[in-house]
Structure 1
């Protein structure tokens, strides 16, 4: 009788110990199933090639791709964890890795198109501003370069000066005015050229920054993949 009671107590104790573990495993399996069921189909269909035609759409596309990448990485991590208990572990891991790579490649063109649209929109906006500024300067320069030659009657009369001398002085005044107008035109042209060069330098710098960020993201992604591929000890 005492032996039977001890056996029952042991059985109850074992069941109580394993019950929370089994429940937790079931919950984990349910969460992993929701993660592993994610696909990029919705994102890819939302942004077919050539569909990004506004800055708002481009920014939203970049945001959606970022969220999609996070889900792709989470799915990959969950699939790898599910592979370790299986008999053909390596084959399962290779399949998960291939799916991860294919999903990333599927959403990457969306991000590239969005970044390209934003970059070209900025360039077009800058060129438009420069063109409008150049037209305004050209209009002002035309008004300044139209320097009339003073007439003899407009020159102050000075004693002892002949009409020829007064005419020569009038022409000299006109020449000096024309020189000043030409220097002003050259100065404005130089300013326009410098402004355009600065804008091009800014664009090249921003492009290098974007390329550097892309390389850093790619390096970080590869490091994360290699770290995730290491067997759990």
Structure 2
């Protein structure tokens, strides 16, 4: 009975050792691999490496799960694999936090330096303005000035105004002529209409005389035939 119990304990130990040996080899994620960040460039490199190795940890855990599900002690195997993943991710997260903190601190430091430099320049400008003597007030000359002498522009405007006056006078004179022409045209048109009416009347009279003469000659000819 004692021998059987001892044999079972040895079997469990051997099986446990086999499970651990079957797990994929984990990379060394110890803190020694991630020295404290000292520059922005180093912080950027660290963040890229953390991203790559975090993906590698997840891949290794997936492979460990696959191996564990093929073993007898599945839960124990999965627990060991999860613990390895947890420790690795914790180390990576610590390195990531350190790099991000350094970048934020560097940004704040640069911004503070820019603000300080701007404040220094503003103070220098104010000091320079204060050191300059005050400007003398501008004297306004209220002496009346003679009217400006007509220049080329004024002469050109005067000539243009004179030309407009002449055109207006010509238009007024032409307006009277145009009215007279209209009256003459209407009078000539009326005379033409009277002449046309007179010609038509005379033509009608001549035609009537010719018709009467022809009729008289015809009657005369008929009377001669009857005799």
**TM-score, length basis structure 1:** 0.46
**TM-score, length basis structure 2:** 0.47
